[in-house]
Chain A
Amino acid sequence: MKILSKTRLENVFNKLNETAEVFVPMQRGEQSGFYPWQTFAAGSDKLWLEALNVYLPPKNVVFPQTERMYNIKQEGQDVKIDETYEDSKSRVIFGARACDVKGITCMDDVFLTRGYEDSFYKARRQATTIIANACYAPGIACFCSAMGVKYVDPEGADIIIRDIGDGYVWETITEKGEMLTARIADLLEEREVTLPEPKPFQQDVNYDGVAEKLKGMFEHPLWDKLSQTCQNCGICTYVCPSCYCFDIQVKMYGNEGYRFRCWDSCMYEEYTREAGGGNPRPASKERFRNRFLHKLEFFKERYGHPLCTGCGRCTVVCPAGISIVKIIDAVKEADTDA
């Protein structure tokens, strides 16, 4: 087996950093997330590969929070679009958990299938190599396996690493992964190890039949009750590894400017407000219902699997104590005969 010793982690980051931007999980002040290795500040940042889930998922690597699309120049009635910004710089995500890798493959379904390929997403995605960090001890908020995510054998990764205490087993999966492995091959060693036994989940979530049951529950009274405390703050969509809704906006400085897209949230009132003032989802309840139906029912109908990867982040950050796990339970228990 190929092994990467933990003492050589930094050598690997430095080596990869020569040809790519390398995103690694770090704790940075009150925040944690995947930040570029070249911004690592030894005194204040902490490398945090053991974390099950850092606060922010690595989705910004392939789908940045704001992304410039093209430049605009205007001169009187003349308007020109003179540069587009498909970004195909090489990037590496190092140590993403299975749920976060799944978040990215959910976005692949959205941006790269069904009629159109999104050229901005495609450029970044093709230039991104994903190194997943297999989980052997799910955390207190985790329920990925209930959502069909293989936490020990993450799907969609180019390389999988497995923590064995003093190092990681290094398993190359795809061609992209082989190219990356070749660059750091001399930093790996060869030895046989036994892998740990995966520990069980700490909470029991059962998603079986939920999507199907939800089909008949659009008008169910449970949405009034569940949504009551939601403040439509949108933080649940912000931290979610698979939430991908975006807005397109323009920024002009005099006669020059650019159009960009940025993350949006279905929890906001403006999200569906029409130019004429109408809004199909005017109140909190409708937006709340749409978010959770999208996660648990609509996406599955369209793409064959749910849009929740069971990372648990939204259940931890919600100021109102709303939890997708409790929603799944409530749906399971709901009386639908009425």
Chain B
Amino acid sequence: MHKCNCEQPLVPIMVEVIDIKEETPDVKSFFVKNIDSNGVPFNIEPGKLAMVSHVPVGEGMFSCTWQEGDEYLQFAIKNVGLLTGELHQIEVGQKLGVRGPYGNGFPVQDCKGKNMLFIGGGIGLAPLRSFIKYCFKNRADYGKIDILYGSRSYADLCFKEELFELWLQEKDTRVHVTIDNPEEGWGGHVGFVPAYLEEINPATENTIAVVCGPPIMIKFVLQALEKMGFSDEQVITTLEMRMKCGIGKCGRCNIGSEYVCLDGPVYYLNQLKQLPPEW
């Protein structure tokens, strides 16, 4: 059952937290559902945003990590500040507010028939995961899938069950995981994401790269992709900006005349390059 808040776009719909999962020491997934247990408040396509409100504390904009039909909306949230710190304290049963969905989302239709290269760092895998899971759900629509993901340490890798088990079982799929520094018990790759990307040296042909992670990683990944021959039309990224309204009114998420909350947050690199360099 969908409750729309289009009449009052700034007023959240109340939902209940039905499950909380600790992904890493500082990332938790929150699973929310309508209070009457009857479905989710709204449908949200991969890459779109929702304002999650711990109502007495504050609101923050998050990319939805996954919508499981009428079962739940999932948000993987890293503890970085006041609101997220409070969110990390809550327990199952807590009522939260949500409003959305906001933004354009990933171009899932555009990418049909392409090989997909997902490149993520740290919490950046959370937005990508909605697209990755969408590809697996519609597996026949996409070609080969490569997932390259890195984090500081083994403990800091999000979604381990999927990385080391579930996604490996998918057809034509390779998962490349790396951590920044060597660690006891870790037999996998060590090093930063951009360097590992160059080692893997993925084929550019008919491939779309989707990049999400800390700004410094994005910067070097974009350089590496360019060096490997990816054109700007083959590269997609999703931006993070401070947001308050989510509906293109409050003014703060602009880059030039674009409002990232409304017109973004997902851009092809050629689109981004036409904007003032404030991203």
Contacts and interface: CB of A to CB of B under 8 A. Distances in A.
Interface of A: 69-70, 72, 74, 77-81, 84, 86, 110-111, 114-120, 218-219, 244-250, 252, 257, 259, 261, 264, 266, 271-278, 280-281, 286, 290, 293-294, 297-299, 301-302
Interface stretch (B39-47, B165-173, B248-256): B248-256
Contacts of A252: 56
Nearest to B81: A275
Given A81-B12, A114-B248, A274 B257 contact: no
15 contacts: A79-B55, A84-B11, A116-B9, A119-B11, A120-B10, A245-B250, A248-B250, A261-B10, A275-B60, A277-B80, A280-B255, A290-B254, A293-B256, A294-B251, A294-B254
B97 A119 contact: no
A248 B244 contact: yes
Contact of B244 (A69, A247, A266): A247
Contacts of A297: 257
Interface string B90-133: 11011111000000000000000000000000000000000000
B93 A77 contact: yes
Contacts of A245: 250-252
Chain A contact surface mostly: mixed
Contacts of B12: 81
A246 B279 contact: no
B185 interface: no
A257 B10 CA distance: 17
B257 A301 contact: yes
A8 to B, nearest CB: 40
A115 B58 CA distance: 24
A275 B56 CA distance: 17
B97 A81 contact: yes
A10 to B, nearest CB: 38
A24 B262 CA distance: 37
Contact of A81 (B14, B90, B248): B14
A268 to B, nearest CB: 10
B269 interface: no
B245 interface: yes
A79 B10 contact: no
B146 interface: no
Contacts, number: 130
Contacts of A281: 278
Given A118-B9, A218-B277, A274-B240, A80 B14 contact: yes
A278 B56 CA distance: 25
Contacts of A246: 244-245, 249-251
Contact of A111 (B244, B249, B256): B249
Contacts of A119: 7-11
Interface in B211-261: 215, 240-242, 244-245, 247-252, 254-257
Contacts of A74: 55-56
Given A79-B97, A275-B60, 17 more contacts: A77-B91, A79-B14, A79-B55, A80-B95, A116-B248, A117-B9, A118-B249, A119-B11, A218-B256, A244-B249, A248-B245, A249-B58, A250-B57, A273-B242, A274-B240, A280-B255, A294-B254
Interface in B5-39: 6-12, 14
B242 A272 contact: yes
A110 B249 contact: yes
The 9 A-B pairs of least Cβ separation, nearest first, read A245-B251, A275-B81, A298-B257, A116-B247, A301-B257, A79-B95, A276-B80, A218-B276, A302-B257
A264 B250 CA distance: 9
Contacts of A117: 9
B56 A81 contact: no
A296 B278 CA distance: 18
B242 A79 contact: no
A74 to B, nearest CB: 5
